[in-house]
C-alpha cells in the first residue's frame, strides 16, 4: 500500500479451485517453498508465496523492518492478487512460523477493514512462544536497542540444521549457504514481533473462518504447550488440529512433503464446497 515492490512466486493452474497466500517464516523466503508450492499445485491448491519485508529479495536491510503493520498490509494486497490470478478459487492465507503470526493478526484485526476477508486460514508451526536459549541480558539489550539502535542485529540462536529435516541434508546445507536466508534479525524487528504477540489469544477468539493448525512433532523451536493453548483459544467452530509425526519446524524443507500437502489439500476441499454452497 506504500508502493513498495513485493517479490512473489506463484504455483498452480489458472483453473485451480483453491488458492492461498503463503507467508514465510523468519529466515527463509519464497524460493524455499517451491517444492511445497509445486506439490500443492499437483493436488489442485494454487499458491502465491511472497517475500516479506526484510527477507528474501525485498529491498532494504535483511532481518529488519520498522513497522509490523506493513506485513498485514502486504498480506491484503497479496490476497487481492491471488483472487485475481485464480478467479474460480476460494482464497485463503497460510502462514508459517513468523508468517503465521502475521496471518493471525491479519485475519483477526485487519480483514474486512484494510483488505479482503479470506475464506480460510492455515497456521503452520505458529511462532507464539519459542524455547530458544535467549538470555535475559540479550532480551533487555534488544528492547533498549530497539529504541536507541533499532538496526542493531542479533544472531538467531538456532540453525536450519536444527529446524529442518536431517534426512534432507543437502537442501539444509544449501539453505544455510543461501545469502538470502536471514541469520540475524534487528532489535526493532524482534520487538515489533513481540508486540504483535501481545493479546494473540484474545485475537484468536475473534476468528470465525475455517482454521487449520498444523504442528510438527519434531519442532525444536516453538513451545508446543503455547500452540495447544492457541488452538483452544480459536473462536471458530470450524477448526482442525493436525500433529504430523517426524515433521520439523521448517516443514517446507521436509524430505517427504506428502503428509503436509495431504493435510492442506484435504482441509481446503470441504472449505471450497462450503463456500460454493
Q: Which CATH architecture fits 8-276? A: 3-Layer(aba) Sandwich (3.40)
Measured CA to CA, the distance from residue 93 to residue 110 in angstroms comes to 13
Check residue 137 and give its pLDDT.
Answer: 65
Residue 136 has phi, psi (to 5 degrees) of -60, -35
pLDDT along the chain (277 residues), means of 10: 94 95 98 98 97 96 95 98 96 98 97 94 96 70 77 90 98 97 94 95 97 97 97 97 98 98 93 75
What is the gyration radius of the CA atoms in the chain, in angstroms? 17
Measured CA to CA, the distance from residue 213 to residue 157 in angstroms comes to 25
pTM of the model: 0.95
* CA 260 centroid distance within chain: 14
Beta-sheet strands, E only, within 110-200: 121-124, 153-155, 184-186
Check residue 135 and give its pLDDT.
Answer: 64
Check residue 206 and give its pLDDT.
Answer: 97
Measured CA to CA, the distance from residue 74 to residue 128 in angstroms comes to 21
- Cell numbers for 142, please give them: 534488544
Check residue 136 and give its pLDDT.
Answer: 59
Amino acid at each position: 500500500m506504500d508502493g513498495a515492490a513485493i517479490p512473489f512466486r506463484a504455483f498452480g493452474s489458472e483453473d485451480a479451485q483453491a488458492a492461498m497466500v503463503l507467508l514465510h517464516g523468519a529466515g527463509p523466503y519464497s524460493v524455499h517453498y517451491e517444492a511445497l508450492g509445486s506439490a500443492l499445485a499437483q493436488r489442485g491448491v494454487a499458491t502465491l508465496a511472497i517475500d516479506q519485508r526484510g527477507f528474501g529479495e525485498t529491498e532494504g536491510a535483511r532481518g529488519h523492518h520498522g513497522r509490523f503493520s506493513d506485513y498485514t498490509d502486504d498480506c491484503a494486497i497479496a490476497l487481492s492478487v491471488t483472487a485475481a490470478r485464480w478467479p474460480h478459487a476460494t482464497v485463503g492465507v497460510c502462514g508459517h512460523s513468523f508468517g503465521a503470526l502475521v496471518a493471525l493478526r491479519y485475519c483477526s484485526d485487519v480483514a474486512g477493514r484494510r483488505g479482503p476477508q479470506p475464506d480460510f486460514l492455515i497456521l503452520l508451526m505458529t511462532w507464539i512462544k519459542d524455547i530458544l536459549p535467549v538470555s535475559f541480558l540479550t532480551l533487555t539489550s534488544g528492547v533498549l536497542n530497539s529504541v536507541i539502535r533499532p538496526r542493531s542485529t542479533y544472531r538467531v540462536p538456532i540453525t536450519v540444521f536444527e529446524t529442518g529435516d536431517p534426512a534432507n541434508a543437502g537442501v539444509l546445507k544449501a539453505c544455510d549457504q543461501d545469502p538470502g536466508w536471514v541469520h540475524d534479525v534487528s532489535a526493532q524487528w524482534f520487538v515489533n514481533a513481540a508486540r504483535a504477540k501481545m493479546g494473540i489469544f484474545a485475537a484468536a477468539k475473534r476468528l470465525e473462518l475455517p482454521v487449520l493448525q498444523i504442528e510438527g512433532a519434531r519442532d525444536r523451536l516453538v513451545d508446543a504447550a503455547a500452540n495447544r493453548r492457541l488452538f483452544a483459544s480459536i473462536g471458530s467452530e470450524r477448526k482442525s488440529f493436525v500433529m504430523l509425526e517426524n515433521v520439523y519446524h521448517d516443514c517446507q524443507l521436509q524430505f517427504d512433503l506428502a503428509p503436509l500437502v495431504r493435510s492442506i489439500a484435504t482441509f481446503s476441499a470441504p472449505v471450497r464446497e462450503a463456500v460454493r454452497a
